[in-house]
Amino acid sequence: MLRYVALKVGRALFVVWAAFTLTFVLLFVLPANPVDLLFDPAEINAVPPEVRERVAENYGFNEPVLLQYLDRLGHALTGDFGNSVQSGRPVTAAILDVLPSTLILAAGALVLALVIAFVIALVATSTRHDWVRNLVEALPSTSVSVPVFLSGILILQIFSFQLGWFPAFGDEGWRSLVLPLVTLAIPVSGPIAQLLVRSFAKEFHSGYVTTSWAKGATRGAIVIGDVFRNASLPALTIAGVTFGNLIAGSVITETVFARKGIGRMTQTAINTLDLPLVQGIVVLVAASFALINLVVDLTYPVLDPRLRATLAAPTAKAASGGAR
Amino acid sequence: MSELRETVESAARAHRRRWPWAAGAAVLLLLIAGIGLAVDRGGVSGDASAAAGEPVRGGTLEFALIDFQRSPDPQWGTNYAESLIGNNITDKLTWQDPETGEITPWLAKSWEYNDDLTEFTFHLRDDVTFSDGTPFDAAVVKANLDQYVRGDKALDINPNGAVLLPGYIETRTPDEYTAVVRFEKPLASFLQASSFTANAQPGFLSLSTLKLSAAERTDPTKVIGTGPFVYESWEEQVKTVLVKRKGYNWAPPAIGHTGEAYLDRIVFNTIPEASVRTGSLASGTIDATLDVGTTDEKPLTAQGFTIIHRGVSGTAIFFNLNSQLFPTNDIAVRKAIQLGWDRAAIEKTVLTDSYSVARSVLADSVRGYVDYSGSVLRYDPEAAGKLLDEAGWRPGPGGIRVKDGRSLVVKLIGINNLVVNKPAYESIQQDLKKIGIDLQLTVVPIPDYAALQAKAKTDANITAANRSRNDPAVLNLQYSPLLGNGAYLTKDSTGVDVEEVTRVLGQLELTLDPAERDAYAKAAQDILLDKYALVNPVYNPSQVIAHAGYVHGIIFDAQSRNHFVDTWKSNGK
């Protein structure tokens, strides 16, 4: 068990380091010079070389690349990613400032997406009408296919500009959160719903369900009482994918609804080659990814007794029998 | 707010349904009045609405734009939000009249300069204070300019003003309210630079602000200016809120505003998505928006909103022709490009009334502008073809001309930040194809453009961009082989006397005598457009604002940036 944990933690750390290194390399391989981007593009030719040098010096861009890397890595280990090239703010502060907005948006959208996904799966499993099932089962692929910016703008047109129920932009109060939540939840719910529909169907035809039928349970009682618990577990395995969808969707959602957040910040940082900021964000995202996968890996044995048994088997074969 | 929205909506609906002709007539009237006023009063428009009358004090202006301010430090910006907000929290030494280009007093009551134009003496107003109560004086001017030009490594402050004030030596302070700014070389354009309101502008910050590091300046309440508004808050990516400065009484005399600003607050909302900006305007959530797309102008006008605009002063959007790279090293090719595209087609299909086709490399609002639409900048495909024929370019495969076995392929790099750019370039591409020139477009976002530009000397025949600076010396900055060298002139550039170009452009910095300067400006345009055909100007970009009828007095300054000191809302809300 200890070895399992150590292995998983080691892997997580490696992922974070690799992300840090890869971004550094990528941004240095890119042909554009971050110093140039601090000037008006039409003026770049006119910037005297000594001014350019002084600006480069301000950010340490004139040091040898390896030295810059080691310096940034050293500081990053202490949680200091330096100052944003574009705003001059410490990267950590800039990220922490926008992180709550994204977290609220992502968490809310995730909950909503789960609700949508479970409703779809439950309806698809419990309905007796084929046409209802077919219709409901088509929803997940539709929700994934509609681009977020399109659904966002449509939702805005209807609920904000026409009906005036919710504000169109900004992030003040819960009302400004509703439309972005829905917009983001739609594509995120798709893969989860698809997975759940399949696993609900599978569980619904398994042996213990037949037993329950035989005992005289109703369809609803079986779906809620037996199938729901067992069929839900696989949704956890795609937590990583879901997180990725949330981050990707948040870039567009935050832009359409003019909210502050990690997604939009990433986009600006990449556009302006704001190396320190990009690195800070990438490390944050990689760390979250790694952490989520780690938590999933570690909780899985807790939730699934069979996995616990296999894990325990090599180290304590004798005890495996008694574990059940 | 919702009441207001309903009123606006129902009003628009009623007009559309019941009296379409009345709405049309009203729009026409508004337009005529608007144009009349724009002509009359220069940048100060917006009073066009029927309900004008006496300015009303109070209220909050909800304003929308694409960009956000990356830092509240006004001396550090390269986007529109930054320069616009900077203009409302700081003041400049002088104010350039947007109509005449004349430099008029602001924080400086008067000024004089030596014959060499290396020393400029400003006599400052003595009643100006910063919002923290400290006085504005010569020492402040010196401290600001020193840091603006040199930066401060210890504070992580970049030399933001080094490009605007080349050759800055020092500022002397012979007495409390006299500042003498000295340069190594003659710099006639400094007088205009002292009024500069665009990117990285020389707006004055308090001594306490100048002591702050770049990171500390991200606390907006510590960024102190003398302007008509002060920071209330700054939220990166989202919005900047300004409130009225109590006791402000030094607006530029030329705009005719006395006392404090009319508005209590301005909220600059960053809304990246075009449909959300226009939707929010239509639904009444915001009062005015910048960055109105060309396709949105008509629908918004039809809904009863007022469109105001001003061309960006400086150069037009230009195609700078690389004079040392094949095939644009051939003057016949450069001249053929100038003659080979249909201006009327672009005017009709791509541009709205807010924009105009370029008639010179200078925008028509810059003093010294000369119209070349009747000579080198006309559409004459036959003349273009003849020039190419004479230079030995023969028709080749696929209709593209060939000379010595090489095809007439012209590579362009450009920026897609303005919506009009790409369609305009594509229209030119189609026209040039008809005369046998294969124009290849790479129109990309700014970072990619910056990367491509680093290699443009050897890789691109055309760099397409523009430069915002309301002074004819912008031509020297942009094209002098000693400075921007936009056409990549070298000793080897075929048929171009590089020293002549350097001298002719350079003399724009040698005089401030209006008549002399006009003559120099003409000489500079002649040499760039006609004699050596180093640039093919395309169109004049414009800044377009749509606002509700109850908003008045939004000023477009000489750099087409907005000032809100004279802005008011009829409803006072």
User: How confident is the model over A138-184, as pLDDT tens digits?
Assistant: 888 888 888 888 888 888 888 888 888 888 887 777 888 888 998 88
B230 CB neighbour count, 10 Å cutoff: 22
- Answer whether A102 touches B (CB < 8 Å): no
Q: Which helix (H) or strand (E) holds B395?
A: strand B394-395
CA distance B180 to A251: 50
Q: Which of A39, A43, A171 is opposite residue B238, by nearest beta carbon?
A: A171
Hey, are the CB atoms on B447 and A32 less than 8 Å from each other?
yes
* Beta-bridge partners for B438: B409
Hey, are the CB atoms on B236 and A98 less than 8 Å from each other?
yes
Interface test with B, best of A55, A156, A157, A161 (most B CBs within 10 A): A161
Q: Who contacts B332 (Cβ-Cβ below 8 Å, separation ≥6)?
A: B387, B388, B390, B391, B393
Q: Which of A160, A164, A260 is opposite residue B238, by nearest beta carbon?
A: A260
The chain A residue lying nearest B485, using CA atoms, is: A45
Hey, are the CB atoms on B447 and A37 less than 8 Å from each other?
yes
Beta-carbon pairs below 8 A across chains A and B: 168
- Min Cα distance A234 → chain B (Å) is 37
DSSP state at residue B6: H
Hey, are the CB atoms on A161 and B279 less than 8 Å from each other?
yes
Rg of the Cα atoms in chain A: 25
- Min Cα distance A10 → chain B (Å) is 35
- Chain-centre distance for alpha carbon B397: 42
CA distance B76 to B99: 27
Hey, are the CB atoms on A40 and B78 less than 8 Å from each other?
yes
User: CA of B177: how far to CAs of A98, B107, B125, B148, B537, in Å?
Assistant: 44, 10, 7, 20, 43
CA distance B280 to A157: 10
How do the pLDDT tens digits run along chain B, 573 residues long? 334 333 333 344 334 343 444 444 444 444 444 443 333 333 333 334 444 578 999 999 999 998 888 889 999 877 888 999 999 999 999 999 999 899 999 999 999 999 999 999 999 999 999 999 999 999 999 999 999 999 998 998 988 898 889 899 999 999 999 999 999 999 999 999 999 998 889 999 999 999 999 989 999 999 999 999 999 999 888 899 999 999 999 999 999 999 999 999 999 999 988 888 999 999 889 999 998 988 899 999 999 999 999 999 999 999 999 999 999 999 999 999 999 999 999 999 999 888 999 999 999 999 999 999 999 999 999 999 999 999 999 998 889 999 999 999 999 999 987 888 999 999 999 999 999 999 999 998 877 888 888 888 899 999 999 888 999 999 999 999 988 888 999 887 888 999 999 999 999 999 999 999 999 999 999 999 999 999 999 999 999 999 999 999 999 999 999 999 999 999 888
Q: Which of B214, B453, B484 is opposite residue A83, by nearest beta carbon?
A: B214
Q: Are B414 and B358 in contact (CB under 8 A)?
A: no
Locate the domains of chain B by residue range: 5-310+543-569, 317-540
Strand order in the sheet with B535-540: B356-357, B535-540, B317-321, B462-465, B409-415, B438-444
User: How confident is the model over A8-22, as pLDDT tens digits?
Assistant: 888 888 988 998 898
Q: Who contacts B90 (Cβ-Cβ below 8 Å, separation ≥6)?
A: B74, B201, B203, B204, B205, B225, B226, B227
Full-model pTM: 0.83
CA distance A182 to A172: 17
Q: Who contacts A31 (Cβ-Cβ below 8 Å, separation ≥6)?
A: B451, B452, B454, B455
- Structure-token match 């309806």, residue found: A123
* DSSP 3-state of A157: helix
- Structure-token match 């998983």, residue found: A8
CA proximity to B109, closest of B97, B96, B125: B125
* Beta-bridge partners for B94: B105
CA distance B217 to B152: 13
Q: Are B285 and B1 in contact (CB under 8 A)?
A: yes
Length of chain A: 324
Hey, are the CB atoms on B163 and A87 less than 8 Å from each other?
no
Q: Residues 71-90, chain A: which have Cβ within 8 Å of B? A: 83, 86-90
Residues in B closer than 8 angstroms to A86, CB to CB, are 70-71
Strand pairing report for B406-407 and B239-244: unpaired
A164 CB neighbour count, 10 Å cutoff: 17
Q: Which of A58, A167, A260 is opposite residue B285, by nearest beta carbon?
A: A167
Which pLDDT band, with edges at 50, 70 and 90, does A28 fall under? confident
CATH number for region B317-540: 3.10.105.10
H-state helical runs in A216-261: 219-222, 228-237, 239-256
Residues in B closer than 8 angstroms to A33, CB to CB, are 450-451, 454
Helices (H) and strands (E) in chain A, counts: 15, 0
Asked whether the domain spanning B317-540 has the same topology as the one spanning B5-310+543-569, the reply is no
Interface test with B, best of A38, A40, A153, A253 (most B CBs within 10 A): A40
- Taking the alpha carbons at both ends of chain B, their separation in whole angstroms is 9
Hey, are the CB atoms on B214 and A88 less than 8 Å from each other?
yes
Q: Is A261 exposed, middle or buried (0-12, 13-18, 19+ CB in 10 A)?
A: buried
Hey, are the CB atoms on B71 and A90 less than 8 Å from each other?
no
- Min Cα distance A261 → chain B (Å) is 8
Hey, are the CB atoms on A164 and B2 less than 8 Å from each other?
yes
Angle at A285 between CA A282 and CA A289, to 5 degrees: 135
Hey, are the CB atoms on B153 and A54 less than 8 Å from each other?
yes
Q: Are A54 and A239 in contact (CB under 8 A)?
A: no
Highest mean pLDDT (candidates A34-43, A112-121, B292-301, B422-431): B422-431
Q: Which of B2, B236, B275 is opposite residue A260, by nearest beta carbon?
A: B236
Q: Residues 137-166, chain A: which have Cβ within 8 Å of B? A: 149, 153, 156-157, 160-161, 164
Q: For residue B35, give both structure tokens.
A: 């144009």
Q: Are B278 and B289 in contact (CB under 8 A)?
A: yes
- Answer whether A168 touches B (CB < 8 Å): yes
Which overall architecture, per CATH, does domain B5-310+543-569 show?
A: 3-Layer(aba) Sandwich (3.40)
